[in-house]
Amino acid sequence: HSWAAITANGYGTRHDPEGEWLYGMEVCVDSSVRGYRIGQRLYNARKKLCEELGLKGIVFVGRFPSLSRRIKKYGSAENYLDAVVNQQTRDPVLSFQLRNNFEVIDLMPNYLVDDKDSMGYGVHLVWHNPKVETAANVAHTKRHGGRQPDTVRVGTVQYMQRRVTSFVEFMSFIEYFVDVVADYKGDFVVFPELITLQLLSIEDQELTPIQSIEALTKYTPRYVEAMQDLAVRYNINIIGGSHPTRVANGRVENISYVFHRDGRVDEQAKIHPTPNEVYWWNIEGGNELQVIDTDCGPIGVLICYDSEFPELGRHLVDQGAEILFVPFCTDERQSYMRVRYSCQARAVENQVYVVMSGNVGNLPNVANMDIQYAQSCILTPCDFHFARDGIAADTTPNVETVAIADLRPESLRIARNSGTVQNLRDRRHDLYQMKWRGN
C-alpha cells in the first residue's frame, strides 16, 4: 500500500472503529524541542492506547531518512535495511523504532514518493500488544468502537417569507420556530438561505438591489446578537440560514452563521454565488470551507448552490463532517430540484446526513425575491441502516412547517465500514484525490 491510499491523503477517513489494529499515520517532533524524549513519550502513549482498547498492536510504515546518503555504500535498500537490523549501522528513525520493540515485516517501495531522503521507500513495522491473548483457542470478539450509539435530533424550518414592520417582529417569527424545535428536545434548528431579506419589507419604498444589500448589511450586529441569545436561552444550536454580510475590503459575502448553545458563533461563507447574486447584489464568494465542531459532532455548511459542487461536500467529509446543513433559496421547482438531487447525491457518495431548509411565500416589494419554492427535508445515505428511500423526514411543498428527525452518527460509521457499499473506503486514492487550494 501507499501512505496516500491507506490514510486517505492524510484525512483518516478510512478509519475503521471496529478494527483490531492501530495504524500509525505519522509522528513528528519539531527540531527545536528535540532532546526532551517527546518521540518516546508519543510511542509510549500509542502503546498504552492499544492496551486500554484491547487492540492487537500497532502497524505502520516508517521512514528511511539516511538511505539516500548511504545507498552507494550498501548498494541497495535491502542491504541497508539488513545492516540497520543487525546493528551494523544506525538509522535515526529505524533504529529508534527497533529499540521500541517494533519488528520489521518487509520493505515497501513507493510508499511516500515525495520522501526523497528515503528514496520513496518505507519500512513496514509491527508491534504486538503483549496484553492481548493470541492462543488459537481464544474466541474472536468483534469490537464495535469506543463510543456508544448516540442520537442527534434535527429540526429543519420551511420558512414563510412575509411582510414585517420591524426587526422585533422578524425575530418573533424566528423565536417561534426555535421554541418549537427546542420543545421537541432538538439539538439543531435550521433556517433557510437569505432569511433576513424579509427585513427589507420594513422599508417604506422599494429599494434597488444594491440599496437592498447595503441596507441588509447594517442589520448584521443586531441579527448576530439576537440569534446568539436565542441559542443560549433555548439551549439549541441554530444554523441561522444566511445573511449578506460586509467583510474585509468592503466585500459583501453571503454568510451562514452557526450559533452554538454555549454562546460561540461560527461562520461559513457561500463559496459559489449564483449568477443572480453576482449580477443583482454584487455578492462575492468566500475562500474558506472548514468543518465546524459542535457538541453533537463535526458538521459542515453548504449554502444552496454550493451543494451542487461535489468537491465541497467531499472536502468537508474528509475533514470529519457527519452532517451537512444546506440552507437554500430557490424560486421555482427546477431550481429546487437541482439542489435536492445534488444533496441526495452528496448523502450517498459521502455516506453523510444532509439537512435542507428553504423559503416559501413571497415579498412583493423586495427586488429579486419575488417567488419561492421549497420542500425542505432531511436526507440520509441509502442502505439498510437508514430510511428506505434515503429520506429521514420530508415536508409538503410550499407550506410553512417544520420537519424533525433523529440522526445516528453510529449508523454512518457502520455504513462506511461494513455497509452494502463503502463509498469512502473504496475510493481509488492511487488514481485521484481532492486537494483544497484555498485557505
SS3 at position 74? helix
> What pLDDT sits at residue 308?
98
SS3 at position 44? helix
Active site residue 56: no
Active site residue 28: no
Q: Which among 193, 267, 277, 284 is annotated as catalytic?
A: 193
Active site residue 304: yes
Find the CATH number of the domain harbouring 96. 3.40.630.30
* Residue 123 falls inside a structural domain: yes
Beta-sheet pairing, 377-379 with 103-108: unpaired
Q: Which among 253, 267, 270, 322 is annotated as catalytic?
A: 270
Domain count, the chain: 2
- Are residues 156 and 124 part of one domain? no
* Residue 425 falls inside a structural domain: no
- Are residues 398 and 364 part of one domain? yes
* Residue 145 falls inside a structural domain: no
29 pLDDT more than 90: no
- Are residues 201 and 68 part of one domain? no
Q: What's this model's pTM, rounded to 2 decimal places?
A: 0.76
What is the end-to-end Cα distance of the chain in Å, rounded?
Answer: 30
- Give the pLDDT confidence of 229-270 residue by residue, as tens digits: 999 999 999 999 999 999 988 999 999 999 999 999 999 999
- Are residues 321 and 253 part of one domain? yes
SS3 at position 126? strand
- Give the pLDDT confidence of 75-121 residue by residue, as tens digits: 999 999 999 999 999 988 899 999 999 999 999 999 888 889 899 99
SS3 at position 51? helix
- Give the pLDDT confidence of 136-168 residue by residue, as tens digits: 433 343 332 333 338 999 999 999 999 999 999
**DSSP class per residue in 271-339:** SS--HHHHHHH--B--S----EEETTEEEEE--GGGGG-HHHHHHHHHTT-SEEEEEE--SSHHHHHHH
Residue 96: name the closest of 138, 62, 73 by CA.
62
- Give the pLDDT confidence of 168-180 residue by residue, as tens digits: 999 999 999 999 9
* Residue 407 falls inside a structural domain: yes
Q: Which among 50, 296, 304, 377 is annotated as catalytic?
A: 304
Instruction: Provide the CB-side half-sphere exposure for 360 (13 A, CA).
Output: 16
- Are residues 186 and 53 part of one domain? no
Boundaries of domain holding 327: 152-418
- Are residues 223 and 100 part of one domain? no
- Are residues 295 and 178 part of one domain? yes
- Are residues 124 and 156 part of one domain? no
Which range has the worst mean pLDDT, 320-324, 384-388, 428-432? 428-432
Residue 310: name the closest of 349, 272, 337 by CA.
349
Find the CATH number of the domain harbouring 401. 3.60.110.10
* Residue 411 falls inside a structural domain: yes
- Are residues 338 and 286 part of one domain? yes
* Residue 192 falls inside a structural domain: yes
